[in-house]
Structure 1
Amino acid sequence: MTDFSDPSFDLEAYMAPFAARLAEDFVKAELDSKKFLAHYGDFADFLYRPEFDHFLRKEVLFFWDPSGEYLAFLDNDHWPEKHSFNFPGPFYSGESDTCGTGVCQAPSNVMNDEHCCEYVFKQPTTYYEFLCVVNAAAVEVFDSFSSNGNDHWTVQECRTWWRNREHLLSSLANEELVKMNDGQAQLYIDYLNGEAEMDLRRYCYFLENGVYPTSPSLILPEL
């Protein structure tokens, strides 16, 4: 067993293999994102579709990893234990481990609470971000991520969630939570104070109509 308290312990050397693997994952996600764009087209149409969860688990993951060695990491429905800080959308987490790998794998979309449990603070907006979130889900020890949010979120659920925004903003200022992340707390604060409202209204439109709104003339549900 590694003794982290040993004065001679070299943390940088210990972490080097993990850093190298992470760098490889980012490069692969960048390359794969181009393949996904060529194969599936517009990202919003890809992500926001009826039966996205089934589509992802039964088709997309096999396109991502044709070997199919272990692709069951999104098979569990974690809605009953969903982390309340998850931003509404297809992806969310339940009770995760406390390894903090999600922040490393998907720094623009996944963060930790003050106990180092993971949640999705921003739904992916590109194939690259999508693949990073998939990587975060794949390495999470408890398989605590789910992709069936569309089966559970309703417009009313989204409105209720949004009305608790001030509590969430207050929680994001928690010193311990800030320490458990690498700038994600501020990213989430900025998002909630900026583009999040329109993103959530667009998601509510999708929930009501089954298609993602692209025309600026469409009337979006109010929160």
Structure 2
Amino acid sequence: MTYWDPLPTVRAVVGKPLPPGRHWTDPVRHDWSGPAPEGWEKRDWRSVPGPFYASETDTCWTGRVCAPANVLYDDDGYGQEFVFRQPRNPHEVYDLICAVQCEVLDGYGGDGDAHWTPELVRDWWRERGRVREWAVALDRTWSVSEREDRRDAAAGARAYVAHIDHDLGPYLRSYLFRLAEGRPAGPAESLPGLPGA
């Protein structure tokens, strides 16, 4: 897997409307590749390593309306948003920007590359079982809810578990190379390892 950098796509859309089909139709109001207002230190512990994260967001549950392949909500009593899958293509970048624009506290950041280190990524990977257990429990609870938005969030939790089990490891190995070398790996270059992977 080769790392795909979403940040040029983020920067290219500043001041322009998102492509059609998104809930946000006004021009993108600023470059979302910068820090979250509440800072990196307040990012949600469930956020996967990568450039995008959420720190303290509102509790309106708008993120999955825009970006169901990337955003999920906590169940700590607040329902704040976090990034469970980094965007893999321009379409998902636009969806994530839609989620960020709809979030009234501007609680997202896109400067994760300035904070993640190979050691921190490997630490997160070592603790992935905690995140996976949380997602399994969330699915179990919310999949039987009478509320449609909770059942949708349960589907997101299942997608998160599948992501952890299948494609997150290869993504993180390519992200580790990007962090260490400042560029994506070439086709013949080997990727760094992850503990237990």
Report the TM range for the smaller structure's normalisation. Answer: 0.7 to 0.9
Structure 1 pair 177–157 and aligned structure 2 pair: CA distance change class (3 A)? farther
Q: Which residue of 2 aligns with 1:205?
A: 177
In the alignment, is residue 145 of structure 1 matched against residue 116 of structure 2?
A: no
Q: Which residue of 1 aligns with 2:131?
A: 168
Conserved in 2, the CA contact under 8 Å of 1:112 and 1:177?
Answer: no
Q: Which residue of 1 aligns with 2:145?
A: none
TM-score normalized by the length of structure 2: 0.78
In the alignment, is residue 124 of structure 1 matched against residue 95 of structure 2?
A: no
Deviations 1:115-135 (A, max 9, x none): 311110001111111100000
Structure 1 pair 204–177 and aligned structure 2 pair: CA distance change class (3 A)? farther
Conserved in 1, the CA contact under 8 Å of 2:34 and 2:109?
Answer: yes
Sequence identity percentage: 28
Conserved in 1, the CA contact under 8 Å of 2:14 and 2:29?
Answer: no
> How many pairs does the alignment contain?
173
Shift of 1:141: 1.3
Conserved in 2, the CA contact under 8 Å of 1:73 and 1:138?
Answer: no
Conserved in 1, the CA contact under 8 Å of 2:49 and 2:112?
Answer: yes
Going by fraction, where is helix more abundant, 1 or 2?
A: 1
**Structure 1: 5+ residue runs without aligned partners?**
1-42
**Aligned residue type for 1:187:** A
Alpha-carbon distance in 2 for matches of 1:135, 1:129: 10
Question: C-alpha root-mean-square deviation of aligned residues, in Å?
Answer: 2.5
Deviations 1:52-95 (A, max 9, x none): 48x845x5413456x86732666543201010111111111001
Alpha-carbon distance in 1 for matches of 2:92, 2:140: 23
Q: Which residue of 1 aligns with 2:146?
A: none
Q: Which residue of 2 aligns with 1:61?
A: 14
**Structure 2: 5+ residue runs without aligned partners?**
19-25, 143-149
Structure 1 pair 125–200 and aligned structure 2 pair: CA distance change class (3 A)? same
Q: Which residue of 2 aligns with 1:108?
A: 69
Q: Report SS of the residue matched to 1:97.
A: coil
Structure 1's consecutive aligned runs of 4 or more residues displaced over 6 angstroms after TM superposition are: none
Alpha-carbon distance in 2 for matches of 1:100, 1:214: 39
TM-score normalized by the length of structure 1: 0.69
Q: Report SS of the residue matched to 2:58.
A: coil
Structure 1 pair 176–191 and aligned structure 2 pair: CA distance change class (3 A)? closer
Structure 1 pair 113–176 and aligned structure 2 pair: CA distance change class (3 A)? farther
**Structure 1, 170-179 or 152-161: larger mean CA deviation:** 170-179
